[in-house]
């Protein structure tokens, strides 16, 4: 049963497709208006946990505007960022889950450290690999670009041991979400599922279809397909993977929420730290 006024967990995604499985299971859903409709915010319950599903739109500009508007209206106890990502590590197959213990911003090189207890929960109950999420300036659409970003990840967040075991992914928004949450003093977690592996390319049409805010405009994609119809099948395959990734992410998030809810009802040492400790800042 949902406790009215209980702790609110913000579940943030750039695209509706990434959060759709959770929306389908949301109980008592109601829309919440935010400034200028900068984000689509829906409050309800998942398994007895009070949540707000926040969809900002893809790209750094939309991510910044959308999360800032949500935080201004109803600051949550914690934030879980979820979504798909490109794989940077050869060891990551399609659908693999990675929890970003660190998030690297390609724009300025800053490294944001996620809340350790949340990372531990995602790795244990959510069965995600601990790793690094790189927020890139553009979609990593080739294997060469992914190798370059993998090098950035290992340079900014050094790792001991075999580099082949490093779990690293790339997206367009995680660093924005992490920075805003840290500035607001809200513990955060980034959970990503691999939609395309390190060895795979995605159609360059996606980068050509982005607008000034970084979002992929579907009408531009449609026009581009008229000129390059061979890109249609790879795009359809990618869309199918996004749906599969969203299912895996939803299962992991629900397990994390259940662990958090259980420990809020009967706190234990370790997870109780989530309620009081500060959010790590960037390094």
The reply to whether 2 falls in a domain is no
The reply to whether 83 falls in a domain is yes
Q: Which of 245, 204, 216, 202 is nearest to 83 (CA)?
A: 245
Q: How confident is the model at residue 78, as a pLDDT?
A: 96
Strand residues in 197-249 grouped as ranges (E):
none
Task: Spell out, as residue ranges, where the chain has pLDDT lower than 70.
Answer: 1-5, 160-165, 264-283
The reply to whether 151 falls in a domain is yes
For the chain, what percent of residues have pLDDT higher than 90?
74
Give the domain extent around 191. Answer: 9-275
Q: How confident is the model at residue 1, as a pLDDT?
A: 34
Residue 88 sits in a domain whose CATH number is 3.40.50.1580
Q: How confident is the model at residue 196, as a pLDDT?
A: 96
The reply to whether 224 falls in a domain is yes
Within 8 A by CB and 6+ apart from 224, the residues are 205, 208, 209, 231
Name the burial class of residue 160, with classes exposed (0-12), middle (13-18) and buried (19+) by CB atoms within 10 angstroms of its CB: exposed
Number of domains in the chain: 1
The reply to whether 4 falls in a domain is no
The reply to whether 283 falls in a domain is no
The reply to whether 134 falls in a domain is yes
CA geometry: angle at 214 spanning 208 and 220, to 5°?
Answer: 40
Residue reference for tokens 């299912």: 247
Q: How confident is the model at residue 263, as a pLDDT?
A: 77
The reply to whether 281 falls in a domain is no
């Amino acid at each position: 049963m949902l406790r009215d006024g209980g702790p609110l967990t913000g579940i943030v995604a750039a695209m509706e497709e990434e959060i759709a499985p959770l929306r389908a299971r949301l109980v008592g859903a109601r829309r919440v208006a935010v400034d200028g409709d900068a984000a689509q915010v829906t409050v309800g319950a998942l398994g007895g946990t009070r949540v707000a599903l926040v969809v900002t739109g893809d790209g750094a500009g939309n991510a910044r505007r959308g999360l800032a508007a949500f935080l201004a209206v109803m600051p949550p106890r914690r934030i879980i960022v979820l979504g798909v990502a490109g794989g940077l590590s050869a060891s990551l197959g399609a659908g693999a889950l990675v929890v970003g213990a660190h998030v690297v911003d390609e724009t300025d090189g800053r490294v944001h450290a996620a809340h350790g207890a949340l990372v531990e929960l995602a790795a244990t109950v959510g069965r995600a690999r601990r790793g690094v999420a790189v927020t890139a300036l553009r979609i990593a659409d080739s294997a060469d670009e992914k190798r370059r970003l993998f090098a950035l990840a290992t340079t900014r967040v050094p790792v001991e041991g075999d580099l082949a075991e490093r779990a690293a992914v790339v997206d367009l928004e995680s660093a924005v979400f992490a920075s805003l949450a840290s500035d607001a003093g809200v513990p955060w977690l980034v959970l990503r599922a691999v939609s395309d592996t390190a060895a795979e390319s995605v159609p360059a049409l996606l980068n050509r279809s982005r607008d000034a805010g970084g979002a992929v405009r579907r009408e531009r994609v449609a026009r581009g397909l008229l000129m390059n119809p061979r890109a249609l099948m790879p795009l359809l395959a990618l869309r199918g993977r996004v749906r599969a990734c969203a299912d895996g992410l939803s299962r992991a998030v629900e397990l994390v929420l259940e662990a958090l809810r259980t420990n809020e009802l009967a706190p234990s040492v370790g997870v109780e730290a989530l309620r009081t400790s500060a959010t790590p800042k960037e390094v």
